[in-house]
């Protein structure tokens, strides 16, 4: 990513021709895939399951289930992307927030009889609140230290869930008998129902985070990621914004937990462990940290692709590990890294000092 793209308009104005060039390149790249093709493929993606369902293809259920898993991973990875990709914080405990969301829904649903969708905001809030409480004292830590603390958090959560904390989480067996969600009286139970629920949620997540990314907060986060000291120097509240990114990401992981609970019907602590956090981390990095397209592609590759090679099940993780190493050596920015941002500058931008600050 060039300094021109992230440094904001002020810097761009001073660099004159370079900024003009990078803006031009940004526009050219944007033309890569024509809009009709994009919309067409989206429509196709959402229509195919229905077609399969109507044709009654036997394997459809299986592939829909795979796509559903990919979708949930996509939401989780998109939410981690806010923390890791935009703000550059090494969070390797994201599964903890996912787990808190999932357990909130499961407990409210099985013990107190709440309908699933009513638990959604509570699950998000619980995960967000937890993230706020644990992240507040550690938000200032440097990269690697933050990494190890977040690993500690996810381990503590897993152990707490396994030990049946407050007598609510059901110990290592977890919670069974979570009911199906109802939407306007319609019972969501089939894989292809869930397909629409999950991928609609993915779409909402994409839109929300895209607008976050393009807001002043998103730009400030990227600034913090590129150069914390400089950001602090011009008055960006670095710790406050980092904390905000953490809470927002955790909240969406909590939402994903609700959907996961509803789809599975049964949850147990082992779904929210360190290994799961590592998987999410690698989805973001492999796909392209900071890029939504990249992260979704990463979810397909990490969660979906292995299904194509079920025969090689034993060697799957071995190859995954080797692939991670090779990726980092030959393409560390990920498969689809974020495009350099381009801004339309106000007319007198080429005069010295004419540009606006961040």
Partner 1 sequence: MEFFLQQFTNGLTVGAIYALIALGYTMVYGVMKLINFAHGELFTLGAFIGYALLVTFGITGRVGLGLGLAISVVLVAGLVGVAGHVLERVAYRPLRHSDRLAAVVSALGASIFLQNAIMLSWGANYRSYSADLLPSVSVSIFGQSFPLLKILIFLTAVVVMLALWLFVHRTRIGMAIRAAAIDQGAAKLMGIDVSSVIAVVFVIGPALGGIAGLIVGLCYGQINFGMGQLYGLKAFTAAIIGGIGNIQGAMVGGLLLGLVEALGAAYISVAWKDALTFVVLIMILVVRPTGLLPERVAEKL
- Residue 83 CB, shortest distance to partner 1, in Å, is 13
Q: Between residues 122 and 323, which has the closer beta carbon with respect to partner 1?
A: 323
Measure the CA–CA gap between 175 and 14, rounded to whole angstroms. Answer: 59
Measure the CA–CA gap between 207 and 150, rounded to whole angstroms. Answer: 27
- Residue 181 CB, shortest distance to partner 1, in Å, is 33
Q: What φ, ψ does residue 249 adopt, rounded to 5°? A: -60, -45
- Residue 148 CB, shortest distance to partner 1, in Å, is 6
**3-class DSSP state of 186:** strand
- Residue 137 CB, shortest distance to partner 1, in Å, is 5
- Residue 318 CB, shortest distance to partner 1, in Å, is 4
* HEC sequence for 208-269: HHHHHHHCHHHHHHHHHHHCHHHHHHCCCCHHHHHHHHHHHHHHHHHHHHHHHHHHHCCECH
Give the torsion sign (CA, 104, 106, 109, 114): positive
- Residue 144 CB, shortest distance to partner 1, in Å, is 6
Q: Between residues 56 and 311, which has the closer beta carbon with respect to partner 1?
A: 311
Q: Between residues 96 and 197, which has the closer beta carbon with respect to partner 1?
A: 96
> Bridge partners of 175?
267
Positions touching partner 1 (CB under 8 A) are 90, 137-138, 141, 143-145, 147-149, 151-153, 155-156, 159-160, 162-163, 274, 278, 281-282, 285, 289, 314-315, 317-318, 320-325, 327-329, 332
Close Cβ partners of 109 (under 8 Å, ≥ 6 residues apart): 115, 116, 119, 178, 179, 261
Measure the CA–CA gap between 32 and 83, rounded to whole angstroms. Answer: 28
Give the number of other Cβ atoms within 10 Å of residue 183's Cβ. 13
């Amino acid at each position: 990513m060039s300094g021109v793209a992230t440094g904001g308009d002020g810097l761009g104005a001073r660099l004159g021709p370079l900024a003009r060039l990078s803006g031009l390149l940004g526009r050219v790249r944007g033309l890569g895939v024509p809009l009709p093709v994009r919309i067409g493929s989206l429509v196709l993606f959402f229509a195919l399951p229905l077609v399969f369902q109507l044709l009654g293809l036997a394997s459809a259920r299986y592939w829909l289930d795979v796509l559903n898993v990919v979708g949930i991973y996509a939401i989780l990875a998109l939410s981690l992307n806010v923390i890791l990709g935009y703000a550059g914080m090494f969070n390797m405990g994201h599964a903890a927030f996912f787990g808190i969301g999932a357990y909130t829904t499961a407990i409210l649903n099985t013990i107190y009889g709440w309908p699933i969708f009513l638990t959604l905001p509570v699950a998000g809030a619980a995960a967000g609140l937890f993230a706020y409480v644990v992240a507040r004292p550690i938000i200032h830590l440097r990269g690697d230290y933050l990494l190890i603390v977040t690993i500690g958090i996810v381990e503590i959560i897993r152990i707490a869930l396994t030990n049946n904390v407050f007598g609510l989480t059901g110990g290592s067996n977890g919670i069974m008998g979570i009911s199906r969600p109802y939407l306007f009286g319609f019972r969501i139970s089939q894989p292809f129902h869930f397909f629409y629920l999950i991928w609609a949620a993915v779409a909402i997540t994409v839109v929300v985070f895209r607008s976050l990314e393009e807001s002043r907060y998103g730009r400030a986060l990227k600034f913090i990621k590129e150069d914390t000291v400089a950001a602090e120097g011009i008055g960006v509240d670095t710790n406050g914004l980092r904390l905000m990114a953490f809470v927002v990401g955790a909240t969406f992981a909590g939402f994903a937990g609700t959907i996961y609970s509803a789809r599975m019907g049964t949850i147990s602590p082992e779904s929210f462990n360190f290994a799961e956090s590592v998987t999410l981390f690698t989805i973001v990095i492999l796909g392209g940290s900071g890029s939504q397209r990249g992260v979704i592609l990463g979810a397909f590759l990490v969660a979906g692709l292995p299904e194509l090679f079920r025969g090689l099940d034993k060697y799957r993780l071995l190859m995954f590990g080797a692939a991670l190493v090779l990726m980092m050596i030959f393409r560390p920015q990920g498969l689809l890294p974020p495009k350099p941002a381009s801004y339309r500058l106000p007319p007198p931008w080429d005069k010295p000092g004419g540009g606006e600050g961040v």
